[in-house]
Amino acid sequence: MKAVILAAGKGERLSQGEDKSKPKPLTPLLGLSLIERAILSAKESGIHDFVVVVGYRSEEVVKYVEEKQKRLGVNLDFVENEEWKKGNGVSVLKARETLKDENFVLLMCDHVFDSSILKELLEYAKKRGDKCVLCVDKPENVFDLEDATKILLERNKPEAIGKGIKNYNAVDCGLFYCTPAIFNALVEEIGKGKYELSDAVQCLIDSDNLEVFDVHGRFWCDIDTKESLEYAKNKMLKSLEKPTDGIISRYINRKVSRRITARIVNRNLTPTQITIISFLMALASATFFFLGEYKYLVIGGLLAQASSIIDGCDGEVARVKFLTTDYGAFVDSILDRYADGMLILGLILGYWLLNGGISVWIIGLFAVLGSFMMSYTNARYEGVFEKTGGGRRIPVRRDMRLFIIMIGAFMNQVLGMMLLLAILTNTEVVRRVFSIKRIITKKKL
Amino acid sequence: MKAVILAAGKGERLSQGEDKSKPKPLTPLLGLSLIERAILSAKESGIHDFVVVVGYRSEEVVKYVEEKQKRLGVNLDFVENEEWKKGNGVSVLKARETLKDENFVLLMCDHVFDSSILKELLEYAKKRGDKCVLCVDKPENVFDLEDATKILLERNKPEAIGKGIKNYNAVDCGLFYCTPAIFNALVEEIGKGKYELSDAVQCLIDSDNLEVFDVHGRFWCDIDTKESLEYAKNKMLKSLEKPTDGIISRYINRKVSRRITARIVNRNLTPTQITIISFLMALASATFFFLGEYKYLVIGGLLAQASSIIDGCDGEVARVKFLTTDYGAFVDSILDRYADGMLILGLILGYWLLNGGISVWIIGLFAVLGSFMMSYTNARYEGVFEKTGGGRRIPVRRDMRLFIIMIGAFMNQVLGMMLLLAILTNTEVVRRVFSIKRIITKKKL
């Protein structure tokens, strides 16, 4: 399957303001240009061959994308549309020769979207046989309704399309599964002097060649103005939460880490480098714990919680820049385990040097054991504990453990805090061993 | 797919001797009767419907199997062959009505076999279309060649079959994928007064309706005598080694655990109960370590190694009795981790109470950390470390760690032993983190 990406327009409204230096496809959004983002989003759905239609300042766009090609890891064809001023229908038609008679996906470089939409569009289209399928959403989900292309649906069948139609109940999301029928429609409409893609789509509607696919409110946005760029950025940052996030992570850590991610995403920091920074902060925290005195405990507690927050940023940067790898997640999990061990060792040593006694060692060792077993049981069942049985579990995952460590340090209650950790974690492990049996019996894992 | 199991014969030679109390299908072999073993072996290949042909002492056999039906978890039909004395061809023909026109698998209740053979036979047969397929092996792999049914192959095509043929280069393993063509052949041969299955198979050969599948020396055995029963038992016990076994496991632990398994397999001990016994032995070992004095160290060391050996028996009993479950393996791994933690805690406390000092705590904590990380890295990558890159890894899995603990205890070198554990395990973890990157790049996990 090939994808055609329209990147020929000028983007007048977006470039009003300071940044006239860049053509629209090169506009940065959370560390990637719009054109890179469109390509990488499609690549997540298994598309590796792209036809990019360029027009306005085409040389700059081609040069920029070609330089990134190796990192993008896809095949690229460029098609020039010198008549880009006429309308986007002309741009689509220019891709005809390169595509021959294959079906393809049509994307706009200035539309960002949740890549699950494209994945499901492709699955849906496969089932529908040889019809064009257009992604649609409800009008209330659109950022700039005035500028959107509207659609009238009657019992889920499209009846009319256009920017100016008065009677509508859906909008076009800018993701379009096309058969070669689109080219015939374009030729016909362009012959009549109608140069917009939506004119050809109306033609497909009239010949009963179009179906629609509802994106059900999942994220997509047409980037036409500074405001929509800002809107998209905030929406994307919010979507970085994970369904498996713990309480502390959801209500505290993510709120901070998102802001940090928004700032560091444009720098050349790799996710692994961020992982290492978080690990070093945990080691620094352990060192302060080791010093034992109350003032150092407070600093150590703050550093532990800060490390926990930064530990969210590596994944966020990876997801927002399409850099997620199994290996990255693996290294992250290994360093997290060592950080957990070092933090508790620092606490034990600091307490022991001041107060002596054997109990801190024994309790500390059980806290280490319990922390590890939380991660180990999870690794053994690949997240089944995090996905299922939400209500009754003891919320003592890493976000909560580091939070407890911080609070314990603030209260100068090292022994009590470690006892709490040891009890909560090991109790939760025992609960898991018994509950997994029910889950296995029910779900036949 | 249904399986027909022939369980009609008398098994004269096997019952010569003391045990005339049982019909042959009820002969026990490593905790299961031959008929249970045949059914459960086939179940592992996804067969859930069985037709059991009974004859000699049929009531006893039917009653026995029906009592076990719930535990077996399969559907059973019984067919009585009152003419069982005539020959096994008659028994096969009796199953005709129950099977209608389906293809099926024909098994002998007195043949035990590695269930991977049946799995691959089914896959092979699926590809060969509508031919009968007989499993064959080289004559040198047979326990009792004289009694075996011989086959002459010419360029992998069967030419002749029979117990008495002089010219042969293969033998029949007793696993047979059949199409309804076998029934026509049986009717024809029985009409001529030839009652053996091999007569009908010769008929299939003559009409070019038979192919063969080479089992390539994998384990199977025809149980006809006391000697072959003993031979099969030893072969099966030897096959309980796992390819992932460590050095100590392979050369020491398995040799002992196999013998223990052979003895306990007939008792009603479940694998989970054995897991718990092994865990309790580790706790006892930790308690002796805690007592600190040299004589207790020696006892603790022996108990640790004994626990390591018993830790092999749970899996062995489970495999030999078809009781393997994901949950059992999960509980085993959780208890192993706690046992590891307790053993090292016992060592630390015992040493510290005698000698004091902080170093034993720090070294001990790193030994706990390293032991855990060995298991954790393995769980994260589901055994990829054990499966790949054999040569250069540091052999410090659980079998080796418990062995090192025993040797350290014998030598009264607790601190040195824990330091060794801490260094070996953590170094191996670091090596894994770097080597997994190469493996991922190469294999695209």
Q: Is the pLDDT of residue B12 over 90?
A: no
Q: What separation in angstroms does the CA of A361 have from each of A358, B295, B345, B359?
A: 5, 25, 9, 12
Q: Select the residue of A326, A334, A364 nearest B377 (Cβ to Cβ).
A: A334
Confidence of residue A15 (pLDDT cuts 50, 70, 90): low
Q: Which residues of B touch A334 (CB under 8 A)?
A: 373, 376-377, 429, 433
Q: Dihedrals φ, ψ of B306, to 5°?
A: -65, -40
* Lookup: tokens for A128: 């529908």
By the CB < 8 Å criterion, does B388 face chain A?
A: no
In angstroms, the first-to-last Cα distance of chain B is 34
Contact B11, B55 (CB under 8 A): no
* Amino acid, res. A288: F
Chain B residue with Cα closest to A441: B327
By the CB < 8 Å criterion, does A162 face chain B?
A: no
Q: Is the pLDDT of residue B420 over 80?
A: yes
Residue B391: per-residue pLDDT: 47
Output b/e per residue, B50-68; b: 16+ Cβ within 10 A.
bbbbbbbbbeebbebbeeb
- DSSP for A342-396 reads HHHHHHHHHHHHHH--SHHHHHHHHHHHHHHHHHHHHHHTTTHHHHS-TTTS---
Confidence of residue A346 (pLDDT cuts 50, 70, 90): very high
State the residue for tokens 């480098």: A273
* Beta partners for residue A105, in sequence order: A3, A177
By the CB < 8 Å criterion, does A375 face chain B?
A: yes
Contact A107, A197 (CB under 8 A): no
Contacts of residue B439, defined as CB under 8 A and 6 or more positions apart, other chains included, come to B384, B388, B389, B445
What CATH number is given for A241-443 in this structure? 1.20.120.1760
Residue A390: per-residue pLDDT: 45
How far does B1 lie from chain A, in Å, by closest CA? 22
Q: Are strands B104-108 and B2-7 parallel, antiparallel or unpaired?
A: parallel
Q: What separation in angstroms does the CA of B284 have from each of A409, B301, B315?
A: 36, 10, 22
CATH 1.10.10.350 fits B240-443, yes or no: no
- Taking the domains of chain A in order of start, what are their residue ranges? 2-234, 241-443
Residue B357: per-residue pLDDT: 87
Q: Are strands A132-137 and A210-214 parallel, antiparallel or unpaired?
A: parallel
Tens-place pLDDT, residues B128-177 = 878 999 999 999 999 989 989 999 999 989 999 999 899 999 999 999 99
- Which range, A18-32, A229-243, A306-320, has the best average confidence (pLDDT)? A306-320
In the stretch 224-283 of chain B, residues with CB closer than 8 A to chain A read none
Confidence of residue B441 (pLDDT cuts 50, 70, 90): low
For A149, which DSSP code?
A: P
Residue A290: per-residue pLDDT: 96
Q: Select the residue of B334, B373, B379 nearest A433 (Cβ to Cβ).
A: B334
Q: Is the pLDDT of residue A216 over 60?
A: yes
Give the largest CA-CA distance in chain A.
91
Contact B361, A361 (CB under 8 A): yes
Contacts of residue B225, defined as CB under 8 A and 6 or more positions apart, other chains included, come to B13, B14, B144
Confidence of residue A20 (pLDDT cuts 50, 70, 90): low
Tell which phi-psi region holds residue B127, choosing left (phi > 0), alpha (psi between -120 and 50) or beta: alpha
Give the largest CA-CA distance in chain B.
91
Say what percent of chain B tops pLDDT 70. 95
Closest C-alpha among A243, A242, A241 to residue A258: A241
Q: How far apart are CA A276 and CA B34, in angstroms?
A: 58
By the CB < 8 Å criterion, does A369 face chain B?
A: yes
Q: Is the pLDDT of residue A242 over 90?
A: no
Q: How far apart are CA A432 and CA A419, in angstroms?
A: 20
A144 half-sphere exposure, CB direction, 13 A CA radius: 17
Percentage helix, strand, coil for chain A under 3-state DSSP, each rounded to 5: 60, 15, 30
How far does A444 lie from chain B, in Å, by closest CA? 10
* Amino acid, res. B46: G
Tell which phi-psi region holds residue B309, choosing left (phi > 0), alpha (psi between -120 and 50) or beta: alpha
Mutation target to probe the A interface, by most A beta carbons within 10 A, among B270, B275, B330 is B330
**Are residues B361 and A361, on separate chains, in Cβ contact within 8 Å?**
yes
When the pLDDT of each residue in chain A is averaged and rounded to a whole number, the result is 92
Residue B363: per-residue pLDDT: 97
* Lookup: tokens for B397: 């899995």
State the residue for tokens 């296995």: A440
Confidence of residue A244 (pLDDT cuts 50, 70, 90): confident
* Lookup: tokens for A234: 């905030």
Q: Is the pLDDT of residue A387 over 90?
A: no
Confidence of residue A382 (pLDDT cuts 50, 70, 90): low
Tens-place pLDDT, residues A302-343 = 999 999 999 999 999 999 999 998 888 889 999 999 999 999
Tens-place pLDDT, residues A388-424 = 544 468 889 999 999 999 999 999 999 999 999 999 9
By the CB < 8 Å criterion, does A429 face chain B?
A: yes
Residue A11: per-residue pLDDT: 77
ipTM for the complex?
A: 0.86
Contact B170, B150 (CB under 8 A): yes
Tens-place pLDDT, residues A127-177 = 887 899 999 999 999 998 998 999 999 998 999 999 989 999 999 999 999
Residue A10: per-residue pLDDT: 84
**Are residues A373 and B338, on separate chains, in Cβ contact within 8 Å?**
yes
Confidence of residue A18 (pLDDT cuts 50, 70, 90): low
Q: Select the residue of B345, B361, B376 nearest A337 (Cβ to Cβ).
A: B376
Query: Other CB atoms closer than 10 Å to residue A19's CB: what's the count?
Result: 12
Q: Is B192 helix (H, G, I), strand (E, B) or coil?
A: coil
By the CB < 8 Å criterion, does A331 face chain B?
A: yes
What is the CATH superfamily name and number for domain B2-234? Spore Coat Polysaccharide Biosynthesis Protein SpsA; Chain A (3.90.550.10)
Contacts of residue A418, defined as CB under 8 A and 6 or more positions apart, other chains included, come to A344, A347, A348, A360, A363, A364, A367, A408
Tens-place pLDDT, residues A36-47 = 999 999 999 999
How far does A420 lie from chain B, in Å, by closest CA? 18
Contacts of residue B418, defined as CB under 8 A and 6 or more positions apart, other chains included, come to B344, B347, B348, B360, B363, B364, B367, B408
Closest C-alpha among B126, B110, B100 to residue B45: B126
Residue B6: per-residue pLDDT: 96
Q: For the packed helices A34-43 and A115-127, what is the interaxial angle rounded to 10 degrees?
A: 50
Tens-place pLDDT, residues A285-305 = 999 999 989 999 999 999 999
Residue B388: per-residue pLDDT: 53
Q: Is the pLDDT of residue B445 over 50?
A: no
State the residue for tokens 């006893």: B60
Q: Is the pLDDT of residue A445 over 60?
A: no
Sign of the C-alpha dihedral computed for residues B269, B273, B279 and B283 taken in this order: negative
Contact A347, A420 (CB under 8 A): no
Say what percent of chain A tops pLDDT 90. 79
* Beta partners for residue A103, in sequence order: none
Query: Other CB atoms closer than 10 Å to residue B78's CB: what's the count?
Result: 16
Q: Select the residue of B333, B345, B376 nearest A365 (Cβ to Cβ).
A: B345
Q: Is the pLDDT of residue B317 over 70?
A: yes
Tens-place pLDDT, residues A72-119 = 999 999 999 999 999 899 999 999 999 988 999 999 999 999 999 999
Confidence of residue B390 (pLDDT cuts 50, 70, 90): very low
Mean pLDDT value across residues A351-367: 93
* Beta partners for residue B76, in sequence order: B50
By the CB < 8 Å criterion, does B411 face chain A?
A: no
Residue A223: per-residue pLDDT: 93
Q: Select the residue of B352, B365, B445 nearest A345 (Cβ to Cβ).
A: B365
Q: Is the pLDDT of residue B30 over 50?
A: yes
How far does A403 lie from chain B, in Å, by closest CA? 22
By the CB < 8 Å criterion, does A354 face chain B?
A: no
Mean pLDDT value across residues B389-394: 62
Q: Which residue has the higher pLDDT, B277 or B17?
A: B277
